[in-house]
Each structure stands twice: as C-alpha cells, then as structure tokens.
Amino acid sequence: MIDIELLRKNPELFRASVKKRNLNLAIIDNFLALDKEWREQLVKSENMRAEQKKLGAERKIEEAKKLKEELVALQEALKITEEKRHQAALAIPNLLSDDVPEGKDDTENKVVRTWGKIPKFDFKPLDHIELGQKLNIIDKERAAKVSGARFAYIKGGLARLQLALMQLVFDSLTDEKLVAKLAKKAGVSPKPFTPIFPPVMIKPEPYTLMARLSPETKEERYYMPADDLYLIGSAEHTLGSMYMDEMIAEEELPIRYLGYSTSFRREAGAAGKDTAGILRMHQFDKLEMESFTKPEDSLKEQEFFVSIQEYLTQQLEIPYHIVHNCAGDTGTPDARQLDLEMWMPAQEKYRETHSADLMTDYQSRRLATKIRLTDGTSVYAHMNDATAFAIGRTLIAIMENYQTKQGTIKVPKALQKYAGIKEILPFLKGGDRLR
RNA sequence: GGAAGCGUGGCAGAGUGGUCGAAUGCGGCGCACUUGAAAUGCGCUAGAUCCGAAAGGGUCUCGGGGGUUCGAAUCCCUCCGCUUCCGCCA
C-alpha cells in the first residue's frame, strides 16, 4: 500500500511512477475520485454519530433511537465507498526509486556489471536435462507418473549438491567476520543473519497484506480450502509477515533472516514455457534473505544483499551479471529490483537465478509492522527480500558449467567439503535402474 | 480431535453495561537537581483515520468478525491464537 497522504499531496509523483511502469494513469485518478467521495460521506456519518452519542449520554433515548436509523443507512453507503476506495488504493504499485531505468519489459533491463569468464568447452556442452538423464540424478518421468508435470526427483550427487549449497549459505551468512566485511563495503550494520525455517503454509490475511495474493497473483497459488490455507510461493511470504501488527524496537534493527523453504507455484500463466528440465517447477527449494530496517538504511541494505548474492555466486565460480530491472519489469510492491543471472552454457544465455527486492514501506504499511524509535515516535519499517540461492536453478548452472567431456559433473571447490564428493558420477547402485 | 481457562496500550496488569481509550507499575521522552552520571522529583507518553492554516475537535479500535442495546473492554454468537489436561501422532 502506498502512502495515501503523500498521494493526495503530490499526485504527480505517483502519476510519473505509474507512467514509467507503463500502466494506466486511470488507477490514480480513480482512487482520488473515490477518496474524495469517501471523505465527504465520512464527515457526514461521523458528525451524525457524534450527535447520536450525545443524545444517548443525555438519556434522550427516543431521539437517539430515531437518529440511529438514519445513521445505519448512511453507514452502509459509506462502507461500500470505503471498500471501493480500498481496492483502488491496493491497485496502485509502489513508488519507483529514482534510479530505476526506463523500459517496458525485461528486454530493456540494464546490465550493471558482469563477472567471470564464460567457459569454453572443447566438446559440445550438454544441457542439464541430458546430463540429468545420463547421470541418473534427475527423474522427471517417474515424478510425472506420481505427481504430474513440473515435478522431479532430485537424486544422488545432485541431492548432495543441494545440501551442500544450503550449508555453504548457512555457514557464510552466520559468519560474523564475513558478514562484517561485506557489510562494511555496503555501509550497513555488521549484524549476521539468523537462520530460520519458516512455515510453508499461510493464511489469506497475511498473504494479502504482503501484496502477494492480489487478483493477478492469486491463480499462481496453491490453496487448501479445507483449512483456508495457501502454500507459499517463497519463504519471503511467511518471513515478511512475521512482524504483522508488531512494534519493533529500534535497537533490534536490522533484523536479518536467512530462511530456507520449499516454494510452490502453479505456473498458471506459463503454459508450455520452460517445460523441459527443472528450470520452472511447481515445487522448488530456495534460500531467502529477508530484512527489516529503518527507512534511511533500506537502499544500502538492498545493495548489501546484492553483494552477498555476488559473493556466493563467486564462491561457486559461475559467471553472472547483475541486471537493474527496468520500470516495466519491476514488481508491484518493489521500489527497486535487481536480478542476478547466472550463465547457462547450453542455452548460451544468462538466466535469472536471483532477485533482490526493495519494498520500502509498501508491505509494512499494510502489515502494520512499525519501528519504535528511541525518541519515542514510530515509523513503518522498510523491508528487503532477496534470493540467496534458488536451489533448482543454481543446480542447473552448476551442472552445465562444470560438466566434463565424459558427461560427469565436477563439484565446485567451495561445495566439496559439504558435498563429500568431488565429482558426480553416474548413479546406478542399489537397484536404481536407468530407464 | 475432546475438555477447561485465557487474549486489554511498547511491556506487565486493573477494569463485568454510560462518567472508560481505559487505574497502576515498568519502559520511553522532556524538564529540574548534579561538575557529569546515577538516584530523586515534576510533566508528557496507544494506534488508525477525518475536519482544520493552526489551535483544537470528531470517529473508530480492549485478538478478528458479527449480534443485542439509545449506549459494549464488559452481555451473546462465531472465528483465530495461546495455556493446561486428555486423545492421537513424527
């Protein structure tokens, strides 16, 4: 939710932002009209209510009774306007940060920097699908039989890699020295992350308040009607809503979590897109960073998160670039979004593996997550969330970048001690037949 | 899943139909005292929202929603959550 007071005072600011996102300006004007109507009705209704209360206090019971009848009708009309106005307010996306590049879709995102040397193979590199089949570490056929399309069994050496990735991230982000070093460069607090496993189911209310259950995103969610619960699409959804209706003391900031969870997405709008392999799944695991800061610290916090993403990807020695998403490709609740894209040799493309989202107070305003400042006043918290590793996609990048001529996969140095292996060889033992 | 109890401001905790947005304590902020600090004393201190240039005033909020009533923190219904006991399970 945007700051309505600011919108009334400075509608041009919001018009510019909405226009930059390539959206219809009517969403602003529609809101302003409803807001005006609502305020007029509100004043009338409140004045009448005050009068009715006064009559009651004076024990003029008959008069109060009569006035109440009028009041009820007025309040019903008000309620309708209020709901319309509320929906109109929700439709307005976050104000874009000034430095967000112009552009209407992902083709106009701006590459900020590039790291690493693109690997040259003296053989034709395979894609992760072929590699997965040959090594018998990805089984989508049986997953389709049991669970349907866009599911997979991740096995053997690849399962070990997943655990290794988790351990690398958990070790790194709880390491006081390492975090302090990266934080110093970014000019933010050196406080390390608290590791956390959040719930993977969420109630409709916090989900809506997180701006992740809008009419447009709803069809992306798995819903369990018997319990009125949704499966989360990201750890962000239950991490960001943790402090709903809470007041956080300034001394506790920044609050930084490193979450691990499975994520669930229906991929309803992606029919036929990326169906091969494990790039786009209904279920995938992800390590996610989430933080709560004071408003003035949030932009630096986002850059800090990006520097962590880069540090981790560099540990894997996988080439990547950082992209500043253009206005048209920036999420509704985001003020500013940067993506990290890893090099995928088989596609000869960088593909999105990470995202870093600065939400400013867009979510906290709705969640009522506030900070009690040391001077006694309070402000809405600023929130950041960012991927540490999306496991599936990172596995693809490792498989394709580290493949050998023999069709095996070397394990990145940084993961070897966690994985317990240096190379993924065909996994055939224990009666696990290839099809 | 069954039974009982509970849910009040930043925190603790009073309050069982009007004078209660709410005693008191802690915490926070300000001032005084002090070389400084502590201690002490005095004052201020819930949120959202609307009207207003401001001063100020109104409305709503005592877990959420609904109801009874002229009037609800207080009575009723319902949902959510917490605690304890029983059952079941990893």
Residues A138 and A80 in one domain: no
**Which nucleotides of chain B are near protein (any atom < 7 Å from a CB)?**
10-11, 18, 27-30, 45, 47-51, 58-60, 70-71
Residue A219 and residue A347 in one domain? yes
Flag whether A139 is in a domain. Answer: yes
C-beta within 7 A of nucleic chain B, residues 234-273 of A? 247, 249
At residue A428, the pLDDT reads 61
Q: Report the side by side order of strands in the sheet with A349-360.
A: A110-115, A320-324, A336-344, A349-360, A382-390, A283-293, A255-264, A194-196
Q: Measure, in angstroms, how far nucleotide B79 C1' is from residue A241 CA.
A: 20
A99 inside domain: no
Question: In whole angstroms, what is the distance from residue A342 CA to residue A313 CA?
Answer: 8
For strands A336-344 and A246-249, give the pairing: unpaired
d(CA A193, CA A172): 9
Place of tokens 């590039």: A114
- Asked if A182 and A280 sit in the same domain, the reply is yes
Q: How far is the CA of A187 from the C1' of B43 (A)?
A: 40
Beta strands A255-264 and A194-196: pairing type?
parallel
pLDDT tens track for A302-339: 999 999 999 999 999 999 999 999 999 999 999 999 99
Last residue of a domain, one of A29, A57, A90: A90
Record the pTM. 0.92
**Alpha carbon distance A345, A319 (integer Å):** 10
How confident is the prediction for chain A on average, in pLDDT?
91
Are A125 and A400 in contact by the 8 Å Cβ rule? The answer is yes
Q: Is position A98 within any domain?
A: no
Nearest to A386 by CA among A434, A419, A352: A352
A69 touches strand B (CB under 7 A): no
Whether ipTM tops 0.90, in short, is no
- Which domain range does residue A361 map to? 106-424
Is residue A419 within 8 Å of residue A160, measured between CB atoms? yes
What crossing angle do the helices spanning A156-173 and A298-316 adopt, rounded to 10°?
140
A60 touches strand B (CB under 7 A): no
First to last CA, chain A: 52
| Mean pLDDT (whole number) for A347-375 | 91
Assess whether pLDDT exceeds 60 at residue A434: no
In the predicted structure, residue A116 carries a pLDDT above the cut 50: yes
d(CA A168, CA A316): 10
CATH number of domain containing A146: 3.30.930.10
Does any strand B atom come closer than 7 Å to the Cβ of A55? Answer: yes
Q: What CA–CA distance (Å, rounded) separates A221 from A421?
A: 37
Calculate mean pLDDT across residues A260-273.
86
Which of A58, A90, A122 finishes a domain?
Answer: A90
Determine if strand B comes within 7 Å of the CB of A49. yes
Which nucleotide across the nucleic acid strands is nearest to A56, CA versus C1'? B70
- A188 plus A288 within the same structural domain: yes
The domain tally of chain A equals 2
Clarify whether residues A188 and A49 are in a common domain. no
The CATH number linked to A12 is 1.10.287.40
Same domain as A243, residue A158: yes
Residue A258's nearest CA partner among A236, A302, A289 is A289
